[in-house]
């Protein structure tokens, strides 16, 4: 059934076009081009930040200046001129998130075009009584389940929906700028506690110039009543996006969060260097899903987003759980390792990944599972698909420290190659410093078998449809980890990403 959907969707695709490549013509305000203390002061002042925040940024900037760009990843790209970029761009009318009614209709239109009808969603949910079924529910499963959205446009959050409903449950969901204003004590306590300013080159850069991002706090014992999501859109030219997301699940809390990303088709490359920090306290669970579909560049590798992202979760207390699910189809370069620090005893980390590369894309992605506490466990399922002239690398570390008694890990990395001009690589690191740790790692690399293709095509599918179908089967284990609402969308995306990979 789901597979039939995929086939239908793939059939509809307008070949050779990145669907989200349009630009929004809106008046924007920029910080002066380039990076300096002045620019950082400018950003901080724009946001009316407290002095400690500015000091924190400046410290990060000083550290960054002493650092060199990492070169260990299997990606190559021309040297980035960090002085040629804009570090802050915002739609003119927006100075901070407002209610939906005040948002520029052009922005609402942009999100609607991206498949995120911010306004309709809220109205629909508001009109209907809690628990009342819509006739729509019969059609597509969960099609009208409300999802709270924080919409980030270039450097700023333009709106956050469902804030009032969430507040009733005690859940704070807002942009990080707002959080700095309304909940400075929470931000001060947790910001940088998982990814410190000087963690790595890009994290330091982000710490210095981050402009916006989402903030979530779920109070003790609370199950967040709806899916939370952030939708990132890079629009402006020559602009870096540096968002910072901070999610805290207090004792016994639960939250599921999803982020989506797109950018216009541009000849110039765009830089995206985000930091995401997750903190799960005792017995808390955070489920973080990403559907990353930044502009990948054209067939010859022109343009595209350079995606250098640091994502890390800290299972800070016992029985905490953090689960990362990612679907990576976009970006020209991906450098991304969502990780878990398993500090609390009996805590658990999971990483489920689908990474698809086509054209000239280069992906170097994976995870780190750092076992520090006793009886900690982790699971890694990674599915890499390389097509075209792309390179797709899984890079992962599993380590058990001396005191991580009875730590357990299971890792499965599978790679699929489509065509003979691409590369699929697996670079796992295992470090066991205690005999009581049980590690199990398996990896395979193969291609879609001719028998499978023949069988499927003999039932009437075109070559491209057959590939999409088989690939969807290959990634099924991971797809199932995504929130229901996004599964169908993602299947479609997989089909689109592999266009032109055969024949």
List residues near other proteins by CB under 8 A: 72, 402, 415, 417-447
CB-nearer residue toward other proteins: 65 or 444: 444
Q: Provide the minimum distance between the beta carbon of 444 and other proteins in the complex, in angstroms, as a whole number.
A: 4
For 466, residues 6+ apart whose C-beta sits below 8 A from its C-beta are 453, 456, 457
φ/ψ bin of 118: left (φ > 0), alpha (ψ from -120 to 50), beta (otherwise): alpha
Helix 201-209 and helix 37-46: axis angle, to 10°? 50
CB of 424 to other proteins, least distance (A): 5
* Nearer to other proteins (CB atom), residue 264 or residue 301: 301
Please say whether the beta carbons of 197 and 60 come within 8 A. yes
Residue ranges with strand state E in 387-422:
391-400, 408-417
| Beta carbon of residue 6, minimum distance to other proteins (angstroms, whole number) | 22
Residue 439 Cβ, how far from other proteins at the closest point, in Å?
4
- By C-beta, is 253 or 418 nearer to other proteins? 418
Cβ at position 453, least distance to other proteins in Å? 12
CB of 436 to other proteins, least distance (A): 6
Q: Closest CB to other proteins among 155 and 378?
A: 378
Query: Reduced to 3 states, what is the DSSP secondary structure of residue 386?
Result: strand
d(CA 146, CA 483) in angstroms, rounded, equals 12
Q: Which is nearer to other proteins, 240 or 344 (CB)?
A: 344
Task: Tell me whether residue 302 or residue 447 sits nearer to other proteins (CB atom).
Answer: 447
> At its nearest, how many Å lie between other proteins and the CB of residue 198?
18
d(CA 375, CA 409): 11
Do residues 48 and 198 lie in contact, with contact meaning Cβ atoms separated by under 8 Å? Answer: no
Query: Which of 22/410 has CB closer to other proteins?
Result: 410
Residue 417 tokens read as 């190659």
The label of the residue with tokens 């967040």 reads 224
C-alpha span between 331 and 234 (Å, rounded): 12
Task: Tell the smallest beta-carbon distance from residue 200 to other proteins (Å).
Answer: 15
Which of 439/474 has CB closer to other proteins?
A: 439
Question: Taking the complex as a whole, how short is the minimal distance between the CB of residue 491 and other proteins, in angstroms?
Answer: 23
Minimum CB–partner distance for residue 313 and other proteins (Å): 24
CA distance 488 to 140: 10
Contact assessment for residue 154 and residue 241, using Cβ atoms and an 8 Å cutoff: yes
Strands (E), 4-87: 28-30
Cβ pair 237, 268 in contact under 8 A: yes
- Torsion sign over Cα 46, 21, 462, 448: negative
What is the distance between the alpha carbons of residues 46 and 49, in angstroms, rounded to a whole number? 8
Q: CA torsion 87→89→94→98, rounded to 10°?
A: -50
Helix (H) or strand (E) holding 335: strand 333-336
Nearer CB in complex with other proteins: 313/396: 396
User: What is the Cβ-side half-sphere exposure of residue 164, based on CA atoms within 13 angstroms?
Assistant: 6
**By C-alpha distance, which of 331, 349, 361, 469 is closest to 399?**
349
Instruction: Choose between 104 and 364: whose C-beta lies nearer to other proteins.
Output: 364
């Amino acid at each position: 059934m789901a597979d039939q959907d995929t086939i239908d969707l793939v059939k509809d695709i307008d070949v050779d076009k990145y669907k989200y490549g349009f630009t929004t013509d809106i008046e924007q305000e920029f910080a002066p081009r380039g990076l300096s203390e002045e620019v950082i002061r400018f950003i901080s002042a724009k946001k009316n930040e407290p002095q400690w925040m500015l000091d924190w940024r400046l410290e990060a900037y000083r550290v960054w200046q002493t650092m060199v760009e990492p070169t260990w990843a299997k990606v190559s790209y021309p040297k980035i001129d960090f002085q040629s970029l804009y570090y802050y761009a915002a739609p003119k009318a927006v100075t901070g998130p407002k209610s939906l009614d005040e948002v520029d209709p052009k922005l609402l239109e942009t999100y609607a075009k991206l498949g995120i009808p911010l306004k309709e969603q809220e109205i629909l949910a508001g009109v209907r009584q809690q628990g009342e079924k819509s006739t729509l529910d019969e059609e597509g499963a969960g099609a009208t389940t409300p999802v709270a959205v924080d919409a980030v446009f270039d450097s700023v959050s333009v709106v956050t929906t469902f804030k009032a409903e969430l507040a009733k449950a005690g859940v704070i969901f807002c942009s990080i700028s707002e959080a700095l204003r309304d909940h400075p004590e929470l931000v001060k306590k947790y910001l940088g506690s998982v990814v410190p300013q000087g963690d790595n080159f890009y994290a330091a850069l982000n710490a210095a110039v981050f402009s916006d991002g989402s903030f979530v706090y779920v109070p003790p014992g609370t199950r967040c009543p709806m899916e939370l999501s952030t939708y990132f859109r890079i629009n402006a030219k020559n602009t870096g996006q540096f968002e910072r997301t901070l999610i805290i699940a207090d004792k016994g809390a639960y939250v599921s969060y999803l982020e989506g990303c797109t950018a216009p088709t541009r000849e110039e490359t765009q830089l995206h260097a985000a930091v995401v920090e997750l903190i799960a306290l005792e017995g808390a669970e955070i489920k973080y899903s990403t559907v990353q579909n930044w502009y990948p560049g054209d067939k010859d590798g022109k343009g595209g987003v350079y995606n250098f992202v640091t994502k890390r979760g800290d299972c800070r207390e016992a029985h905490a759980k953090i689960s990362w699910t990612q679907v990576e189809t976009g970006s020209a370069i991906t450098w991304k390792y969502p990780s878990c620090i398993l500090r609390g005893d009996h805590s658990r980390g999971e990483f489920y990944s689908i990474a698809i590369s086509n054209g000239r894309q280069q992906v170097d992605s994976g995870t780190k599972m750092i076992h520090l506490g006793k009886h900690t466990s982790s699971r890694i399922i990674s599915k890499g698909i390389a097509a075209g002239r792309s390179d797709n690398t899984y890079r992962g570390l599993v380590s058990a420290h001396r005191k991580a008694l009875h730590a357990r890990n299971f890792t499965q990395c599978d790679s699929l190659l489509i065509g003979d001009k691409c590369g699929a690589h697996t670079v796992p690191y295992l470090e066991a410093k205690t005999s009581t740790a049980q590690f199990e790692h398996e990896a395979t690399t193969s291609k879609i078998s001719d028998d499978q293709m023949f069988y499927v095509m003999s039932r009437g599918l075109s070559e491209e449809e057959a590939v999409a179908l088989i690939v969807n089967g290959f990634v099924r284990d991971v797809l199932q980890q995504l929130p229901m609402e996004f599964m169908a969308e993602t299947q479609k995306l997989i089909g689109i990403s592999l266009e032109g990979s055969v024949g």
